[in-house]
């Protein structure tokens, strides 16, 4: 089974102009505190129908609301992670999620491989299909084909990352005897985390391309049944079901004075780990006070490692 890890989500968006140095400072804090992974989210453009985010049939989550309006400021995730890579040493650099289908596959493969090499193999690629038609419209892509476009993108990336001489043909995109260097650090390419509800497409995508699952919708509150289904599908496909990694949210409990209640926080992790969660995404208002964040993260990491890294 993979190691249990702690991660945080960096707030790479704001309602209006802001000082983005806080995002970098939070990433550096996480690295120094021993947090295993930082993650950033993705929007390329916005339309004006933001209520679509709360519609599950479009890919959103029931009742969810976007954290900014259409003119909110969102940093492009790979550019941001490149800056963070230069300021950190060991924390993993994740997208959660990148709308990979909006990018040209071969160019995305090159960008990710470059970041992976320069960071010493620290990149995790979390992907999803998105919920907003306008982003696909602005990129000249068919929103209704977004699942197929994502699968194509992942297939091309995997081919270019793992084959010295690459070829691809899906009837629309064709190339042969293509060389792309450098390759990612790991010979199997960059680890892919697939986000989505458990349905046929999500399961097939993860079994084919992924090593991790980012639950969405109702599965966020209860990932257990989804983990069981994914493990069964991996086993049927000849893959090791015990290798599946899964992200889940873990609320950081604080006392009235703002200090972290380590015991209450990590006790809530036990049932998640028991069902197969491997990446505990700490839910906290990171970035408001970086010095206080360092105290919170440090206390959690110390006890977390005692429990999950020493066999206790």
**Full DSSP string of 205-227:** HHHHH-SEEEE-GGGGT--HHHH
Q: To which H or E segment does residue 267 belong? A: helix 262-267
pLDDT above 90: residue 257? no
Q: What is the CATH number of the domain that holds 130?
A: 3.20.20.30
Q: How confident is the model at residue 28 (pLDDT cuts 50, 70, 90)?
A: very high
pLDDT of residue 60: 87
* Half-sphere exposure for 2 (CA within 13 Å, toward CB): 19
- Name the residue among 97, 112, 101, 170 with its Cα closest to residue 138: 101
pLDDT above 90: residue 223? yes
For the chain, how many structural domains are there in total?
1
Per the CB < 8 A criterion, the answer to whether 250 and 284 are in contact is: no
pLDDT digits (tens, 9 = 90+) for 77-105: 999 999 999 999 999 999 999 999 999 99
* Mean pLDDT value across residues 152-175: 98
Per the CB < 8 A criterion, the answer to whether 84 and 154 are in contact is: no
On the 0-12 / 13-18 / 19+ scale of CB atoms within 10 A, 114 is middle
Distances in Å between the Cα of 230 and the Cα atoms of 77, 123, 181, 188, 259 are 28, 23, 33, 20, 38
* Half-sphere exposure for 136 (CA within 13 Å, toward CB): 17
Mean pLDDT of the chain, nearest integer: 96
pLDDT digits (tens, 9 = 90+) for 265-279: 999 999 999 999 999
Give residue 181's domain range: 5-308
Q: What pTM value is reported for the model?
A: 0.96
Scan for tokens 């497409």, then name that residue: 201
Per the CB < 8 A criterion, the answer to whether 215 and 189 are in contact is: no
pLDDT of residue 270: 96
Per the CB < 8 A criterion, the answer to whether 198 and 229 are in contact is: yes
Strands 166-169 and 174-178: antiparallel
pLDDT of residue 310: 64
């Amino acid at each position: 089974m993979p190691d249990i890890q702690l991660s945080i989500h960096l707030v790479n968006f704001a309602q209006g102009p802001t000082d983005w140095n806080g995002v970098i400072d939070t990433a550096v804090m996480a690295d120094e505190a021993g947090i295993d992974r930082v993650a950033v989210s993705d929007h390329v453009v916005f339309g004006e129908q933001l209520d679509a985010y709360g519609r599950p049939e479009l890919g959103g989550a029931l009742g969810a609301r976007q954290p900014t309006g259409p003119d909110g400021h969102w940093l492009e995730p790979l550019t941001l992670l490149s800056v963070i890579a230069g300021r950190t040493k060991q924390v993993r650099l994740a997208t959660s999620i990148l709308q990979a289908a909006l990018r040209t596959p071969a160019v995305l493969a090159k960008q990710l491989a470059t970041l992976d090499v320069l960071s010493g193999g620290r990149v995790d690629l979390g992907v999803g299909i998105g919920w907003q038609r306008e982003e696909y419209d602005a990129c000249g892509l068919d929103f209704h084909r977004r699942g197929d476009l994502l699968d194509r993108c992942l297939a091309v990336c995997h081919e270019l990352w793992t084959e010295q001489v690459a070829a691809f043909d899906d009837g629309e995109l064709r190339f042969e005897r293509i060389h792309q260097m450098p390759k990612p650090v790991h010979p199997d390419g960059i680890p892919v985390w697939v986000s989505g509800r458990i349905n046929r497409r999500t399961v097939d995508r993860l079994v084919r391309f992924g090593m991790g699952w980012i639950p969405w919708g109702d599965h966020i509150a209860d990932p257990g049944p989804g983990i069981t289904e994914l493990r069964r599908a991996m086993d049927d496909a000849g893959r090791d079901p015990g290798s599946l990694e899964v992200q889940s949210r873990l609320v950081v409990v604080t006392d009235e004075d703002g200090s972290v209640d380590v015991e209450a926080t990590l006790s809530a992790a036990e049932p998640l780990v028991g069902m197969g969660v491997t990446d505990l995404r700490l839910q906290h208002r990171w970035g408001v006070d970086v010095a206080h964040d360092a105290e919170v993260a440090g206390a959690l990491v110390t006890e977390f490692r005692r429990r999950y890294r020493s066999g206790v």
